[in-house]
Chain A
Amino acid sequence: MSEFKIGWNAKMDMLKFKNLGEEREKIIAEGSSKDLETIYKSNTLANLLHPKGIKVKVSKIVKETDNTKSFYLEPMSLNAMPPFMAGEYITVLVKIDNRIYKRPYSISSSPDNLSYYRITIKQEGVVSTYMLKEIAEGDILNILGPFGHFTYSKIRDQKDVLLIAGGSGITPFMSYLQSSYFLKNINSVTLLYGAKNEFELIFKKEIDAIASQNPKVKVAYILSEEKRSDYEYGFIDEEKLRRIGLENKSIFLSGPVPMYFYISETLKKLDIPNKYIRHEIFTETPENLENKQFTLTVKMLDKTITIPCQENETLITSMEKARAKTLVHCTVGICGFCRSKLLSGEVKTDNSHIRMADKEENYIHPCVTYPLSDVVIEVPIK
């Protein structure tokens, strides 16, 4: 039988094997003793695109309608705002009465201009009211982001696009309509924009100007509480959708929750596959919850707090009220940033965006969780 060998002979091979370590040491000895490189381009870029937080100055405030204002946010801690895709949002931190609130707002400015982000806020709850009433030009805010997936993809989406907006839901679409990426990659876009009356149509002038300059862009306004000859009247319904034509279009929905449900139902009836329908994130408040009081215990990294909570408020709301720290980005159960472990208690929650393995171990998103008893959760808050 001939000898099994790879090189000259088996002995030499074995010697070579024994010397592997020495060989390695020799090579290391030839290395450089200079201080090591510590800057890596991809890591630097990751930090630029996803900064831990951005300090911004409110450089300009524009009143858009009676109850809506736009805020122009210029970077203070960075040279320029991070690049984003039209449709993304930021989370704004607002301190009211020593409580920190975090709220998501879509960016309504062009992704092509990073000297500022614009957000547009309609008066609704505590934070939006505060923003409209108290925030002035020159004020400084902290924001997180940009985040989100309500973006156009030329790989996934159709070349003909239908944007359906209701009320302040127009904000992400304002960014779409000023995005050179979006406008370059589509053949046509139709914006269906519904509001109560003409005065509530935010950005009408801007939108009309874009449409008049770009033949790809078409706009139809629909007023639900004002009958006029120069506007469509009513709600965005099956008949109007049929008239516009849905064949081979990607449909993006952004607006109040009832509008979303209504239109989703209609699209289902019209046999439009899921693939063609995308919607801005939102959450539905469960019905039939009472204001029963319970206690919420939050085990944080280094301390535990016990605070009141109530059945018809999310755990995050209770934590905000109690001036506790929170980990929140989207506030609607999608982003996973608030992921917490439910250690005990009964809750009503939305687990559509909880990982399979996390469900088995009782993880929840407290931003969409309502207590049905005393509750204990664990979350890595400092």
Chain B
Amino acid sequence: MHREFDAIVIGAGNGGLVAALTLQKQGKKVLLLEKGRVPGGFATSFIRGRFEFEASLHELCEYGTAENKGEVYELFENLGIAQKIHAKVVPETFAVYALKTNEFYEMPMGEEAFIAKMEEYVPGSKESMQTFFSLCREVKEALKYLNETKGHPETEVLMSKYPRFMVVAPYSLLTVLKKIGMPKKAIQILSTYWTYLGSPASKLSFCHYASMIYSYITKGPVTLENRSHEVSLTLSEEFASLGGVVKYLTGVKEILVENGEVTGVITQDNQKFLTKHIIANISPNEVYGKMIEKENVPVKAKKLVSQRTLGAQGVCVYLGLNKTKEQLGLSKYAYFVYETLDSDVEFKRMHSLYNGNLAATITDNGEDSSILCLTSLLFGNAFSREVTKENYFAIKEQLAEDLITSFEKATHVSLRDAIEEIEIATPVTFARYGGHPEGTIYGYLASGSDNLLPRVMNEEKEVYIKGLRFCGGFSSRLLGYSSTYINGRDEAMKTIGDMKNE
């Protein structure tokens, strides 16, 4: 006898964990299968010496505080885990350096302060910034409405309530900002966070960027004091305590499909579990390319995958420093270092190794030390193109050298003498732990028709196999903690809907 479940979730990343818990809370019998040993996927932490390093989270968007709750906060409340999470609001937005042009800007929190500071840096930007913020609000509201109507909005409602949303929705960040008359410099400064979504201003959807940065500036990004592992663990413990079945070290090898419908899965150790509903927290590349028998893979699914571009690969340098932030002279939490502030120029440069661009975050570690994490993105498979078994260690170290040097050059802070622990993660590391193709950390590149809105609008049409849905960084809401948590819930609710329709 094979065990049967109402739903099976493949992968215990952010999306998978929330999806599994949401289904379980709805009284379904759920099996969560995870190939690794711990929950969280990228949302985890690791210890070296006296430092516990956050593996991936720089800033959690859409969280806010008990007084000013964001969507993720509300989600966690509904899931019954909010009280267990130790979040801390970051008091400022970002500091950004452009090495080639020798520029430096630091931006505050809060809409008014942000606009005022921008006006100080770029006189004449005020009006366009105000327009930008009012557009952000409209976009946010409209996206919420779109989500509520599951991608089937009523045109009249959109027309009357969010007319400007429909106007900006088909365009890129760059196009809209130019059109509303924002000065070039202000556009560049405002686009600083582009690496958080892994796509430059000319490709990235305006709506997507607007909704993220608006949340950062008005609610404040948060960090998690006990690392993102706390959320991952709390979600998985809650799931198990409600009777959900989690199996670690149990990767899925095959998804069983009959007559265009899922019927179950086979694990790497050849256990078979039956179900009619699967939520995959992994990439369509893996699912359609490896996990389903060839004749059962719909042609459309192959076409879809073939037309998509894998998103950024990542390199992370985790440094345990034997000085505090103050001793080092670093007062902010988040620093961005680019060669120039033109995201399109930089996007091109980031198609090769050693480009020096990075996003850094630093926090104190007790009384006498701190943790600095330098993250950089690579596009166009730049890493995999160069690396071999023989040069792997050398490239890894050279990438770290490059990022440390770049950070030192920007901030004029010397790190070398303070490095007590160092760990370097490359696409190989991320491939090992996450299992996604080419160690991609950002799902698919957000660009053109593969931006947020077209993905969301066509989601139902892209359910090519009945009962098979995707959540997480490769799915419709794209990457990022907040997106993947929220998307986990949404996919679970859609699956509940599927069950009702049976």
A: which residues have CB within 8 A of B? 4-7, 10, 13-14, 16-21, 23-25, 27-38, 40-43, 45-46, 48-50, 83, 85, 149, 153-156, 181, 273-275, 301, 327, 336-337, 339, 353-358, 360-361, 380, 382
- B438 and A40 within 8 A (CB): yes
Query: In the bound complex, how far is the Cα of B57 from the Cα of A361, in angstroms?
Result: 21
Q: Could you jot down 18 A-B contacts, CB within 8 Å?
A: A13-B168, A14-B167, A21-B461, A23-B454, A25-B458, A33-B302, A38-B290, A40-B431, A41-B385, A42-B383, A46-B439, A83-B393, A301-B248, A355-B47, A355-B52, A355-B226, A356-B45, A357-B45
Query: In the bound complex, how far is the Cα of B226 from the Cα of A4, in angstroms?
Result: 46
Q: Which residues of A contact B430 (CB under 8 A)?
A: 42
Q: Of B237, B248, B392, which one neighbours A45 at CB under 8 angstroms?
A: B392
Q: Of B248, B313, B454, which one neighbours A20 at CB under 8 angstroms?
A: B454
- Closest chain A residue to B420 by CB distance? A275
CB distance from A101 to the nearest CB of B (A): 20
- Closest chain B residue to A359 by CB distance? B226
CB distance from B351 to the nearest CB of A (A): 16
**Count of A-B contacts judged by CB separation below 8 Å:** 214
Q: Which residues of B contact A40 (CB under 8 A)?
A: 384, 431, 437-439
Query: In the bound complex, how far is the Cα of B248 from the Cα of A374, in angstroms?
Result: 25
Interface positions, chain B 283-302, Cβ under 8 Å from A, are 285, 288-290, 294, 297, 299-300, 302
- A17 and B432 within 8 A (CB): no
Query: In the bound complex, how far is the Cα of B50 from the Cα of A43, in angstroms?
Result: 30
Given A28-B304, A45-B392, A360-B226, the answer on whether A17 and B169 have CB atoms closer than 8 Å is: yes
Q: Which residues of B contact A153 (CB under 8 A)?
A: 397, 422
Chain A CB within 8 A of B363 CB? no
Given pairs A13-B171, A28-B303, A382-B269, 15 additional interface contacts (CB within 8 A): A14-B166, A18-B166, A20-B449, A21-B454, A27-B449, A40-B437, A42-B383, A42-B430, A83-B390, A154-B397, A155-B419, A301-B247, A337-B37, A355-B46, A356-B230
Interface positions, chain B 384-441, Cβ under 8 Å from A, are 384-385, 387-390, 392-393, 397, 400-401, 404, 416, 418-423, 426-432, 435, 437-439
Q: Which residues of A contact B431 (CB under 8 A)?
A: 40, 42-43, 45-46
- A17 and B418 within 8 A (CB): no
CB distance from A76 to the nearest CB of B (A): 19
Chain A CB within 8 A of B249 CB? yes
What 6 pairs between A and B have smallest CB-CB spacing?
A31-B303, A36-B289, A357-B230, A380-B248, A21-B457, A46-B432
Q: Of B290, B381, B400, B428, which one neighbours A49 at CB under 8 angstroms?
A: B428
Query: In the bound complex, how far is the Cα of B350 from the Cα of A260, in angstroms?
Result: 45
- A33 and B437 within 8 A (CB): no
CB distance from A35 to the nearest CB of B (A): 6
- A10 and B167 within 8 A (CB): yes
Chain A CB within 8 A of B175 CB? yes
Query: In the bound complex, how far is the Cα of B431 from the Cα of A36, in angstroms?
Result: 18
- A34 and B384 within 8 A (CB): no
Given A155-B422, A358-B233, the answer on whether A24 and B449 have CB atoms closer than 8 Å is: yes
- Closest chain A residue to B45 by CB distance? A355
Query: In the bound complex, how far is the Cα of B421 from the Cα of A336, in angstroms?
Result: 18
Query: In the bound complex, how far is the Cα of B421 from the Cα of A40, in angstroms?
Result: 31
CB distance from A30 to the nearest CB of B (A): 7
- A41 and B300 within 8 A (CB): no
- A49 and B392 within 8 A (CB): yes
- A28 and B457 within 8 A (CB): no
- B389 and A382 within 8 A (CB): no
- Closest chain B residue to A85 by CB distance? B393
Query: In the bound complex, how far is the Cα of B305 from the Cα of A178, in angstroms?
Result: 47
- A156 and B226 within 8 A (CB): no
Q: Which residues of A contact B438 (CB under 8 A)?
A: 40-43
Chain A CB within 8 A of B164 CB? yes
- Closest chain B residue to A185 by CB distance? B397
- Closest chain A residue to B417 by CB distance? A275
Given A13-B167, A382-B269, the answer on whether A41 and B387 have CB atoms closer than 8 Å is: yes
- A32 and B302 within 8 A (CB): yes
Q: Of A14, A19, A34, A154, which one neighbours B302 at CB under 8 angstroms?
A: A34
- A34 and B306 within 8 A (CB): yes
Q: Of B307, B389, B454, which one neighbours A83 at CB under 8 angstroms?
A: B389
Given A13-B167, A24-B449, the answer on whether A358 and B302 have CB atoms closer than 8 Å is: no
Query: In the bound complex, how far is the Cα of B37 from the Cα of A339, in angstroms?
Result: 8
Q: Which residues of B contact A358 (CB under 8 A)?
A: 229, 233
Interface positions, chain B 127-160, Cβ under 8 Å from A, are 155, 159
Interface positions, chain B 157-193, Cβ under 8 Å from A, are 159, 163-164, 166-171, 175-176, 179
Chain A CB within 8 A of B219 CB? no
Given A357-B233, A360-B226, the answer on whether A156 and B422 have CB atoms closer than 8 Å is: yes
- A20 and B170 within 8 A (CB): yes
Query: In the bound complex, how far is the Cα of B392 from the Cα of A7, in angstroms?
Result: 48
Q: Of B52, B155, B176, which one neighbours A356 at CB under 8 angstroms?
A: B52
- A155 and B401 within 8 A (CB): yes
Q: Which residues of B contact A301 (CB under 8 A)?
A: 247-250
CB distance from B33 to the nearest CB of A (A): 11
Query: In the bound complex, how far is the Cα of B455 from the Cα of A35, in angstroms?
Result: 23
- Closest chain A residue to B421 by CB distance? A156
- Closest chain A residue to B310 by CB distance? A40
- Closest chain B residue to A9 by CB distance? B167
CB distance from B251 to the nearest CB of A (A): 11
Query: In the bound complex, how far is the Cα of B313 from the Cα of A335, in angstroms?
Result: 26
